[in-house]
Structure 1
Amino acid sequence: MSVSKDIIIALDEGTTNAKAVALDAKGHVVASFSRALAIQTPHEGWVEQSAQLLVEASLEVVARAIATVGVDRVAALAISNQRETVVGWYRATGKPIAPALSWQCSRTAAFCHQLRENGNGPHIKAVTGLPVAPLFSASKMRWLLDNTPRGAELAATGEICLGTVDSWLLWQLTQGEAFCCDYANAARTQLMSLHTADWDPEMLALFGIPRAALPTIKPSSGLFGYTRGCPSIPDGLPVMAMIGDSHAALFAHGLGAEGCVKATYGTGSSVMAPVASARCDVSALATTVAWHDGETLVYGLEGNIPHTGDAVAWMADSTGLSELSQAELAHELNTLPRSVDSTLGVYFVPALTGLGAPWWDENARGMIHGLSRGVKRAHLIRAALESITYQIADVIQAMRVHPGFTLNALMVDGGPTKNDWLMQYQADLLGCPVMRSDVAELSAMGAALLARKALFNLTTSQLRQYLPEHVTFSPDMARHARLQTRWQAWQETVALLRK
């Protein structure tokens, strides 16, 4: 590898933005480009995106990053992606069969309910580590086949491909020469056995997904293929890492150090802790693959929350704050909760398309509880922000059941973490330090680190020099004791919602 080829470009394809980040030999961000992505909700509970626009936006930002740093400096590409979102496409043309079904989409709730009614839930959890929920990819793949002419037939012969976003982007970057996904993304489909680390025949049969339609599973760090035939992107660039965005963020926080639990605050949130085994006995949480670094398969214990930043966005829209500029909105979200001492007894449970971990109730719908005449916009905004911290605390409470789980610090990232009030409230609620990475490109950085590991044959410990600094919010333990009463009241409000 030429020393002049020092740049890794990481494509971070998220729910609301496609971002390309160029990182140099020291792991520093030297260029970043993003393009907004639209979300469609054609029916209640349905959430989808244009699969074609996901590709167009992704290729555009990668091309801009390459043009900025110069192709002669680009050593490799890496991909981090929104997880569980599913794309189906025709193998012959590479054209999607339908919109991409978002991870937030709950259109398969009835199918998942039937699986639970039939008693399949415990076995699915034992094999895949995942509870039965519309969040995961398998039921979405089944829906696509059921709603595509000759869908099952074409999938059985391999004429229809089904994949998570990483495999869809890789297919397009390589013009169909590579049809792969990584272990972390495969583990989110509900079709991979944690115990064999391969597509599971029983799960494929249960969900009606032919193996011929699925990608090859590979380590997160390693060669996936080479670019070919993409406008403004040179042929021959190696794709050296693929991984789900939440997993990539955990890797970039601390390379999987024990006791460092990660929470990504975005549209929704992922709370993930590295664990040593594939034990699946915490029913409220998912056991998953955190990553495969090319040498070792690392497991993760995870809770997924559909509406965290999304809850604040909904409340901002409902109270008129969304009319402000982004800078003005950020200022208001930081100052409004400080301007009042409490929410005046208001609790907002943002089950806008159902509840995720640890409740797993896709039929639940949102509630604003405890309204009184004195409640103003500041109280409602504070209630929305508090709801993020309570949901994350609920997941961590469930994690404590897992043998060997420890919490030394909560490592956080994502847009909402820029809100200092929110971070301090989270630290005080949990009673442990909250360590914020102010690197906006943390998921991209994690993917780039995995690519660098494979490119230069590094050990995981050798990557430590590239890790970003963190800002620490230390807990006020006196306030921690007081907040336990509010957290209990929150849980009682959730219980009301589920009656």
Structure 2
Amino acid sequence: MPEMILAIDQGTTGTTVFVVDGRGRIRGRAYAEIRQYYPKPGWVEHDPEEIYRSVVALSKKAIAAAKVPAAAIAGIGITNQRETFVVWERSSGRPIYRAIVWQCRRSAAICDALREREPEVARRTGLVIDPYFSGTKLKWLLDQKPEIRKRGGRGELCFGTIDTWLVHKLSRGAEFVTDYTNASRTMMFNLARGEWDDEMLAMLGVPREMLPRPASSRGPLAETAPGTIAAHAIPIAAVIGDQQSALYGQGAVAAGDSKATYGTGAFLLMNTGDRIVPSKNRLLTTAALGPAGEPAYALEGSVFIAGAAVQWLRDGLKLVRRAADTDGQARASLAKNKDRTHPYVVPAFVGLGAPHWDASARGAIVGITRGTTGADIVRATLDSIAYQVRDVIVAMESDTGRPMSELRADGGATANRYLMQFQADILGKPVRRAKIAETTAMGAAMLAGLAIGVWKSPDELHAIVEGAKVFNPEMQTAEREQLLAGWRDAVARVFTKPSD
């Protein structure tokens, strides 16, 4: 009986495909970048057909790399960049416009015009009003091209995030579906009711006839058509947005479980179980999963600059040749001077995100002296990542009234042992670094395997995530409080709006 899962991770800069076996081992993999289009300043687009072709070609490559027959693939799990969307013809499957990417800011003026309605938007969808989400950019497209709105109202056109586009193409039009985690990022989905929200559709001028059927992330949701990935049909057993997939892949499936993905920025999610938690700190409330893949909820906060600060050290300041060198530099700084209170780096290169929300703030280095060295700047930059993550976690604990027991960490920057230890120290909580770096793809694989019986129960998934490296806090409370006071002072110096 086949027991392999094909995990498709369609991301912003590229597509990755893994073949995962019944023991959770990656048996084969393939990756390719996708082209980025920047037609105007602040606009970002993708070619939907290129995305689909990459998924098909890389799936075949990963199966070949695994040295297994395609017949060994029991099911497919898809995870994806969440807010990017496509509009296409229902009958032909042909896109009528490039995919508009989550990074695109073209709907900023629309968001400004809707700003006074943000409390209503948050109550219905769990989101703030921002171009980040699909809905305002879809409104922009429909306003710019009224014929699209008319055709959408006649049922001739389909709207979908990347998951919907891929399922529709892989099934050759047989299924038009999205999952709750992706739907919850459109600004059109009523989080409490689990369905499209008529008031939000009216606010954005979106015809309901354009929208896919929302469904649970755990399927099966569809089948691939014979001749797409393999000669036979394969169940698409799970579909889930990338950050929720990483949460599931970390085994963070109970209320209070949390994870941080350290990439260019840092994405933090706290599972709140079956409870929708409105945020007082402008965090996002979003869909998540429970242990068996059942619908649940989470709070989400984003740190704008994490790994990007390390790139700045390397490419901008030329203080390190490789990102990995920051670990040794930070340790050298600490060995020379045990006092971490000077300097502080506040990497507000593109403003401050949650929980400060000051888009006009800009970065600063605070507290330099004649004795400050390049190693000290490197160390303070790594520290700044941990401070920012802590700020979001404090906001989450405030919103939920629930202290976090530990933080589960994944992403490229978690390879930096100095950063992980300081993160544990400044949190005063253990940090559990994922054994498998590819937690986003692994989450989709785990969910798909559970859906089709490769794993019989959620308990069997524990073995896949076991073996993580745990960093326990070693810092004394008095030192932690002193450092945090200095960080708060440094952040206050870059605010462009009065603090509360």
Does residue 285 of the first structure (1) align with residue 286 of the second (2)? no
Q: Out of 441, 444, 469, which is 2:441 matched to?
A: 444
Distance 1:321 1:75, change over 3 A: farther
Inter-partner Cα distance in structure 2 for 1:97 and 1:355: 36
Inter-partner Cα distance in structure 2 for 1:280 and 1:421: 34
Query: Any gaps of 5 or more consecutive residues in structure 1?
Result: none
Distance 1:235 1:489, change over 3 A: farther
Runs of 4 or more above 6 Å deviation:
292-295
Does residue 102 of the first structure (1) align with residue 104 of the second (2)? no
Query: Any gaps of 5 or more consecutive residues in structure 2?
Result: 335-339
Inter-partner Cα distance in structure 1 for 2:73 and 2:319: 42
* Residues 93 and 173, structure 2, Cα contact 8 Å, conserved in 1: yes
In structure 2, the residue corresponding to 1:223 is in which secondary structure? strand
1:85 corresponds to which letter in structure 2? Answer: T
Q: Deviation of residue 290 (structure 1)?
A: 0.5
Q: Deviation of residue 38 (structure 1)?
A: 3.9
The equivalences for 1:198-217 within 5 A come to 198-217=195-214
Q: Deviation of residue 261 (structure 1)?
A: 1.2
Q: Deviation of residue 415 (structure 1)?
A: 1.1
Inter-partner Cα distance in structure 1 for 2:382 and 2:218: 36
* Residues 110 and 140, structure 2, Cα contact 8 Å, conserved in 1: no
TM (norm. structure 2) is 0.89
Give the structure 1 partner of residue 337 of structure 2: none
Does residue 253 of the first structure (1) align with residue 250 of the second (2)? yes
Q: Deviation of residue 248 (structure 1)?
A: 1.1
Give the structure 2 partner of residue 307 of structure 1: 305
* Residues 343 and 382, structure 1, Cα contact 8 Å, conserved in 2: no
1:339 corresponds to which letter in structure 2? Answer: A
In structure 2, the residue corresponding to 1:284 is in which secondary structure? coil
Distance 1:49 1:191, change over 3 A: same
* Residues 346 and 379, structure 1, Cα contact 8 Å, conserved in 2: no
1:297 corresponds to which letter in structure 2? Answer: P
* Residues 252 and 258, structure 2, Cα contact 8 Å, conserved in 1: no
Q: Deviation of residue 29 (structure 1)?
A: 1.5
In structure 2, the residue corresponding to 1:54 is in which secondary structure? helix
Inter-partner Cα distance in structure 1 for 2:445 and 2:318: 39
Q: Deviation of residue 63 (structure 1)?
A: 1.3
Q: Deviation of residue 217 (structure 1)?
A: 0.6
2:329 corresponds to which letter in structure 1? Answer: L
Distance 1:232 1:198, change over 3 A: closer
Q: Deviation of residue 223 (structure 1)?
A: 1.3
| Deviations, residues 79-114 of structure 1 (Å, cap 9, x unaligned) | 111222222223233333333322222222221122
Q: Deviation of residue 423 (structure 1)?
A: 1.1
**Quick check: 146-155 or 418-427, which moved more?**
146-155
Q: Out of 435, 450, 454, which is 2:451 matched to?
A: 454
2:387 corresponds to which letter in structure 1? Answer: Y
Q: Out of 321, 329, 332, which is 2:325 matched to?
A: 332
Distance 1:410 1:84, change over 3 A: same
Give the structure 2 partner of residue 92 of structure 1: 91
Q: Deviation of residue 429 (structure 1)?
A: 1.4
| Deviations, residues 311-370 of structure 1 (Å, cap 9, x unaligned) | 433443323479x6xxxx233233333333459535233343x54322345x43642344
Distance 1:188 1:65, change over 3 A: same
Inter-partner Cα distance in structure 1 for 2:124 and 2:294: 20
* Residues 78 and 242, structure 1, Cα contact 8 Å, conserved in 2: yes
The equivalences for 1:364-403 within 5 A come to 364=360, 366-370=362-366, 377-403=374-400
Inter-partner Cα distance in structure 2 for 1:12 and 1:336: 34
1:340 corresponds to which letter in structure 2? Answer: S
Q: Out of 311, 316, 332, which is 2:314 matched to?
A: 316
Give the structure 1 partner of residue 5 of structure 2: 8
* Residues 410 and 434, structure 1, Cα contact 8 Å, conserved in 2: yes
**Quick check: 483-492 or 417-426, which moved more?**
483-492
The equivalences for 1:105-144 within 5 A come to 105-116=104-115, 119-144=116-141
Does residue 266 of the first structure (1) align with residue 263 of the second (2)? yes
Q: Deviation of residue 420 (structure 1)?
A: 1.2
TM (norm. structure 1) is 0.89
The equivalences for 1:26-175 within 5 A come to 26-68=23-65, 69-116=68-115, 119-148=116-145, 150-175=147-172
* Residues 6 and 25, structure 1, Cα contact 8 Å, conserved in 2: yes
* Residues 350 and 387, structure 1, Cα contact 8 Å, conserved in 2: no
* Residues 436 and 465, structure 2, Cα contact 8 Å, conserved in 1: no
Give the structure 2 partner of residue 487 of structure 1: 487
Inter-partner Cα distance in structure 2 for 1:314 and 1:88: 36
Q: Deviation of residue 230 (structure 1)?
A: 5.5
Inter-partner Cα distance in structure 2 for 1:139 and 1:449: 33
- Number of residue pairs the alignment of both structures matches: 487
Inter-partner Cα distance in structure 1 for 2:248 and 2:390: 21
* Residues 343 and 380, structure 1, Cα contact 8 Å, conserved in 2: no
Backbone CA RMSD of aligned residues: 2.7
Distance 1:166 1:267, change over 3 A: farther
2:363 corresponds to which letter in structure 1? Answer: M
Distance 1:37 1:308, change over 3 A: farther
Identity of aligned residues (%): 36
Inter-partner Cα distance in structure 2 for 1:220 and 1:49: 24
